[in-house]
Amino acid sequence: MAQAAVRKGRILALTCLVQLMVVLDVAIVNVAVPSIQRELGLAQGTLQWLVISYALMLGGFLLLGGRMADLMGRRRVLIAGLVLFSGASLAAGLGKSAGLIIAARGVQGFGAALMAPAALSILAVTFAEGTERNRALGIFGAVGGTSASIGVITSGLLTDGPGWRWVFFINVPVGILLLALTATQLAKDEPRIRGRGFDAAGATTVTAGLLVLVYALNRGADYGWASASTLSLFAGAAVLLGLFVTLEARTREPLIPASLVRSRTILVANSMAFFVFGSIFSFIFLVSLLMQQVLGYSPTKTGVSWLATTLTAFAVAGVTGARLVNRIGVRKLLITGMAVLAISAGWLWRVPPDASYVADLLPAFLLTGIAIGLCAVSVQIAALSGVASNASGLAAGLVETMREIGGAVGVAAVSAVLVSRTPNAGQPATPAALHTTVLLDGFHTAFLVTFILAALGGILATAGYGRHRLAVPGPDGHAAAVPRTGAAEMVSDHTRTDS
């Protein structure tokens, strides 16, 4: 028994470190971008690709990566992803040109798209559904929810310390460690069952559709949402995703099983992931810019300032997974978390130009940490509950995809508001005082966007999860009605009965 607990603890550490690497690398380059530009002499239009190339490949291939984990074996797919991710990190760190670094970032993103769903799926099948899995997901969710802020902290310290190349090099030793843990702590995958179909057409169309959608979201923020190129990309994404839906309805072995599509619990959980991470990522993006562009914080000071959010989120997430989910239920936790996040965004809506960290920023940072701890864990518990082990990779890929899409939409939306509200703030002739005033006005408006995203998420959580009882299959195979709280509330819809 003790050996099993130790093994599960090591697997939890492994999966959490994988999740940390995946999400951290979304944000770790942001603070380093100006240093990369100066050293390599990059054009302004090239800079976005240092960030977009990773997010594009990650968001586009997560669903495919999850299905590959189910069909080919979670351990195999995780190892393949780690090898690609670590090798690409080394190449990016050694890169002497923008083209090489951008290409390496793309390979990083593809490797991460294999790693993330495989790791979450491994956690789901290692820990029994209920209290045990909830506790594990509490820790896992804390890592995932705070990884972006950890990335900002790490990026600032590395950029001001050994240099920007270490934002890539840092992944190499960690990747080697994770490969060693994967090889020694995870049992070998069972041989692939012959005759088990793979929906190639569905995988191709959904991957292409997601790639185009993520690119359109990033392009729209820079080139305008009404531009012909942006609208064409959105139209192309809609056609590809529409074709995917049509193919799924006709194929005998669809990429996404009908049981997942019919489950209201899973559909609402994935929709909630969109709003949860759209709000969180847009908040982190906005506040990081605010501290540097308006308040004059250095990269290191900006990064260290996020420690309050990180530590709070870790503490709250641990309690959420271990106790609150079972006692209060996912629905109430999500409603509370989104309300707290909306209050946090509202707090910064009127932040002054001479804002004090303790009086003006710290309260919002602490509230955001509470919201992350409540919401990130609850969403993952909901998205994986009632899912068969042979579909856990796909379920993990779905919720990770919605996280990335939500984050991309949130950041794109607040970026568009900032650009529209501060069109001339960066002109050399703009007086310093007016420059700050115009910038701050843009930030105030952008925080309203984050507030709206959080409010919409709270409304969805309120309406999406009903108050009726659910029927959970008992030991004899018959359904028994149980209260809609904790793990018991998260079961597939085909077992639901009205009380």
pLDDT for the residue 339? 96
Residues 276 and 378 in one domain: yes
Residues 67 and 118 in one domain: yes
Does residue 213 lie within any of the structural domains?
Answer: yes
Boundary residue ending a domain (221, 237, 254): 254
Are the beta carbons of 371 and 136 closer than 8 angstroms? no
Residues 237 and 263 in one domain: no
Does residue 279 lie within any of the structural domains?
Answer: yes
Lowest-confidence pick of 112-121, 377-386, 475-484: 475-484
Residues 357 and 390 in one domain: yes
The 10s digit of each residue's pLDDT in 45-84 is 677 678 778 888 888 888 888 888 888 899 999 999 999 9
Mean pLDDT score of the chain, rounded to an integer?
81
Does residue 63 lie within any of the structural domains?
Answer: yes
Q: Is the pLDDT of residue 449 over 50?
A: yes
**Residues in Cβ contact with 323 at an 8 Å cutoff, skipping those fewer than 6 apart:** none
Domain that holds residue 109: 2-186+255-495
Radius of gyration of the chain (CA): 22
Backbone angles phi, psi at 317, to 5 degrees: -65, -40
Residues 238 and 352 in one domain: no
The 3-state DSSP class for residue 262 equals helix
Distance, CA of 394 to CA of 384 (rounded, Å): 10
Does residue 197 lie within any of the structural domains?
Answer: no
**Residues in Cβ contact with 106 at an 8 Å cutoff, skipping those fewer than 6 apart:** 53, 54, 56, 57, 88
What integer is the mean pLDDT of 409-436?
Answer: 63
- Only one residue has tokens 């530590």, namely 311
Distance, CA of 123 to CA of 424 (rounded, Å): 49
Does residue 424 lie within any of the structural domains?
Answer: yes
pLDDT-based confidence at 191, cuts 50/70/90? low
Q: Is the pLDDT of residue 310 over 90?
A: no
Number of domain units in the chain: 2
The 10s digit of each residue's pLDDT in 31-50 is 787 788 888 887 766 776 78
Say what percent of the chain tops pLDDT 70. 86
pLDDT for the residue 435? 56
Are the beta carbons of 267 and 496 closer than 8 angstroms? no
Q: Is the pLDDT of residue 92 over 70?
A: yes
**Residues in Cβ contact with 86 at an 8 Å cutoff, skipping those fewer than 6 apart:** 111, 171, 172, 175, 176, 179
- Only one residue has tokens 């797919």, namely 77
Distance, CA of 468 to CA of 423 (rounded, Å): 51
Six token digits for residue 124: 């789901």
Residues 331 and 426 in one domain: yes
Q: Is the pLDDT of residue 494 over 80?
A: no
pLDDT for the residue 437? 74
Residues 8 and 95 in one domain: yes
Residues 114 and 211 in one domain: no
Distances (CA, A) of 389 to 70, 118, 166, 398: 8, 12, 38, 15
What integer is the mean pLDDT of 448-465?
Answer: 91
The 10s digit of each residue's pLDDT in 143-158 is 876 777 788 778 778 8
What integer is the mean pLDDT of 354-382?
Answer: 91
Q: Is the dihedral of CA 413, 415, 416, 420 positive or negative?
A: positive
Does residue 191 lie within any of the structural domains?
Answer: no
Boundary residue ending a domain (226, 254, 282): 254
The 3-state DSSP class for residue 467 equals coil
pLDDT for the residue 161? 85
Nearest CA among 46, 56, 60, 52 for reference residue 99: 46
What integer is the mean pLDDT of 463-492?
Answer: 41
Residues 334 and 465 in one domain: yes
Distance, CA of 330 to CA of 372 (rounded, Å): 14
Boundary residue ending a domain (237, 254, 271): 254
What distance, in Å, lies between the first and last C-alpha atoms of the chain? 39
The 3-state DSSP class for residue 60 equals helix
Q: Is the pLDDT of residue 478 over 50?
A: no
pLDDT for the residue 495? 29
DSSP 496: B
Residues 60 and 168 in one domain: yes
What integer is the mean pLDDT of 176-185?
Answer: 92
Does residue 192 lie within any of the structural domains?
Answer: no
Q: Which residue has the higher pLDDT, 290 or 439?
A: 290
How far is it between the farthest Cα atoms of the chain? 77
CATH code at 12?
A: 1.20.1250.20
pLDDT-based confidence at 15, cuts 50/70/90? very high
Distances (CA, A) of 480 to 129, 330, 477, 488, 498: 17, 20, 9, 11, 12
pLDDT-based confidence at 466, cuts 50/70/90? low
What integer is the mean pLDDT of 201-217?
Answer: 83
pLDDT for the residue 298? 79
Q: Is the dihedral of CA 438, 55, 117, 142 positive or negative?
A: negative
Question: One-letter amino acid identity for 285?
Answer: F
pLDDT for the residue 192? 61
Residue 332 gets the label, from left (phi > 0), alpha (psi -120 to 50) or beta, of: alpha
Lowest-confidence pick of 33-42, 233-242, 405-414, 476-485: 476-485
Lowest-confidence pick of 170-174, 256-260, 425-429: 425-429
Residues in the chain: 499
Distance, CA of 58 to CA of 138 (rounded, Å): 23
Distance, CA of 155 to CA of 178 (rounded, Å): 21
- Only one residue has tokens 């590395």, namely 158
pLDDT for the residue 64? 85
Burial of 225-261, coded b for 16+ CB within 10 Å and e otherwise, reads beeeebeebbebbeebbebbeebbeeeeebbbbeebe
Q: Which residue has the higher pLDDT, 337 or 247?
A: 337
Nearest CA among 277, 279, 309, 272 for reference residue 291: 309
DSSP 430: S
DSSP codes joined into one string, 331-370: HHHHHHHHHHHHHHHHHGGG--TT--IIIIIHHHHHHHHH
Lowest-confidence pick of 45-54, 179-188, 461-470: 461-470
Q: H-helix or E-strand containing 223?
A: helix 200-223
pLDDT-based confidence at 284, cuts 50/70/90? confident
pLDDT-based confidence at 363, cuts 50/70/90? very high
Distance, CA of 216 to CA of 222 (rounded, Å): 10
Give the pTM.
Answer: 0.79
Distances (CA, A) of 250 to 207, 244, 332, 494: 18, 10, 38, 22
Question: One-letter amino acid identity for 213?
Answer: L
Residues 380 and 276 in one domain: yes
- Only one residue has tokens 């800079």, namely 47
C-alpha neighbours within 13 Å on the C-beta side of residue 193: 7
Does residue 91 lie within any of the structural domains?
Answer: yes
Q: Is the pLDDT of residue 392 over 70?
A: yes
What integer is the mean pLDDT of 331-357?
Answer: 92
Residues 178 and 243 in one domain: no
